Structure 1
Amino acid sequence: MAPVLARSEPRRLDVPRIGVHVPLSRLGLNADGTVQVPPVDRPEQAGWYAHGYTPGERGASVILGHVDGGGREGVFHELGRMRRGDAISVTRADGSVATFVVRSVEQVPKNRFPSQRVYGPLDHAGLRLVTCGGGFDRRTGHYTSNVIVYARLT
C-alpha cells in the first residue's frame, strides 16, 4: 500500500534542483470560482491550495507559484527544468517532512488545462506544482500555457 500521512498544513517548500526554498501561504478561491495565485507583485512567493489535500494526504495537493512578475523571476521560473526522479520536500505544521519524487512534467495550453488530473482524486499521496509557461501573449498580458509537475510521496 502507498504511504500516506495524516492531514497537516504545509509550511515550507524545498525543491533543490531549481533552488527553491520558500515558506508557503494559503490560497483559496477568487470570487469567480477560480483558484487564487500568490500576488503577482510578489513573484518569489508560493502558495498551497487550502481547499484541497495537504501534502502527504491521499489525494492531489497543489502548490502554485509565478514564473515571473513585476519584471522579476518568479519562484517557479525554472519549474520546466524538473525531471522524473527529482526530489521535492514539504515541511508540515506537525514538524514532519513529506518527501515526493517527480513522476512527470508537462506543459499544456491554458485552454486545455487538465483540471481533473491536477485537482482530482488519487489513490495515493500526490503533489502538483503549477506555474505559467509557453509564450507570453502581450495582447492579453498572460502566458499561453501552464507547466505542471506531478510527484508522488515516497
Structure 2
Amino acid sequence: MGDGLIAAVTALSLCAGVWLLHGAAEPRTPPQPSAAEARPGGTEESGRSAPALPPSPPDRVRIPSIRVDAPLTGLGLTKSGSLDVPPAARKNLAGWYEAGTTPGETGTAIVAGHVDNADGPAVFYDLGALRRGAVIEVDRRDGGTAVFTVDTVEVYDARTFPDAKVYGAAARPELRVITCGGGYSRSTGYRGNVVVFAHLTGSR
C-alpha cells in the first residue's frame, strides 16, 4: 500500500462524534489508550510472526477482550482519495480497505470503524481500552481465521498523524485497526485517532 494513499481517513465523518454532538444528555468520551500501551519504536520488537496466509477477503472481526464481534464490509477511496467509511447507521459494522492487503497476507491490512453514531457508541467505541497482548481474530472467506496479537495501542492528533507508520508497507503480516479518539470538542469533533498495531501470530 502506498504511503499516504488513505491518509485522509483522519478527517472523515468517522470522527464527527455525532452522538456526543446531538444525542448525549451527559457526554462521555470513549476510553483512550494509556502510555503503558505504547511502545517506542512501534512493532519492531513485538516478537515472531506466524507464516503469511494467501490472500482472502475478510468477513468478520472479533476482539474478545472489548466485546467486538462485527461483520466487515469492503471500503474503497472517495473522490478526494481518502478512505471511505462504513454506513454510520450500521453501528456494529466495520470496514476493511479492499484494494490493499487482506488480513493475514504479507503487508499492512487496514480495518476501520466508527466510534459512535447518532444513537450512541458504535463498533470500536472501546478500542482505546485495548491492551498489548490482546487477540484480534479475522474470519476469512477461505474458511480460515487469521489470529493477530496487539503490539501497541496509540493515539494521534489529526494534525500530526504519522501516515507512513500507520499505512506504510510491512515485511510481515500486520494489521491496523483505526477509529476516532484523541479527545473531543463539540465544535470540531474528535481531535485524532486511536490506532491499534498488531501482527499475525497464528491461524486456524
Q: TM-score, normalised by structure 1?
A: 0.95
1:18 aligns with 2:66: yes
Q: Say which structure, 1 or 2, has more relative contact order (CA 8 Å, 6+ apart).
A: 2
Q: In structure 2, which of residues 73, 78, 83 is the aligned counterpart of residue 30 of structure 1?
A: 78
Number of the residue aligned with 1:149: 196
Separation in structure 2 between the aligned mates of residue 147 and residue 120 of structure 1, nearest angstrom: 17
Q: Cα distance, 1:41 vs. partner?
A: 2.5
| SS class of match (1:12) | strand
Number of the residue aligned with 1:63: 111
Q: Cα distance, 1:39 vs. partner?
A: 1.8
Number of the residue aligned with 1:107: 155
Q: Cα distance, 1:114 vs. partner?
A: 1.7
Paired amino acid for 1:151: A
Asked whether the 8 Å contact 2:71–2:92 carries over to 1, the reply is no
Separation in structure 1 between the aligned mates of residue 163 and residue 157 of structure 2, nearest angstrom: 12
The structure richer in helix per residue is 2
Number of the residue aligned with 1:139: 187
Separation in structure 2 between the aligned mates of residue 65 and residue 71 of structure 1, nearest angstrom: 15
| SS class of match (2:149) | strand
Greater CA drift, 31-40 or 4-13: 31-40
Paired amino acid for 2:52: V
Asked whether the 8 Å contact 1:14–1:20 carries over to 2, the reply is yes
Separation in structure 2 between the aligned mates of residue 43 and residue 130 of structure 1, nearest angstrom: 15
Unaligned stretches of 5+ residues in structure 1: none
Asked whether the 8 Å contact 1:107–1:134 carries over to 2, the reply is yes
- What RMSD in Å do the two structures reach over aligned CA positions? 1.2
1:54 aligns with 2:105: no
The structure richer in strand per residue is 1
Unaligned stretches of 5+ residues in structure 2: 1-47
Q: TM-score, normalised by structure 2?
A: 0.72
How many pairs are equivalent? 153
Separation in structure 1 between the aligned mates of residue 155 and residue 91 of structure 2, nearest angstrom: 20
Separation in structure 1 between the aligned mates of residue 127 and residue 94 of structure 2, nearest angstrom: 12
Percent identical: 46
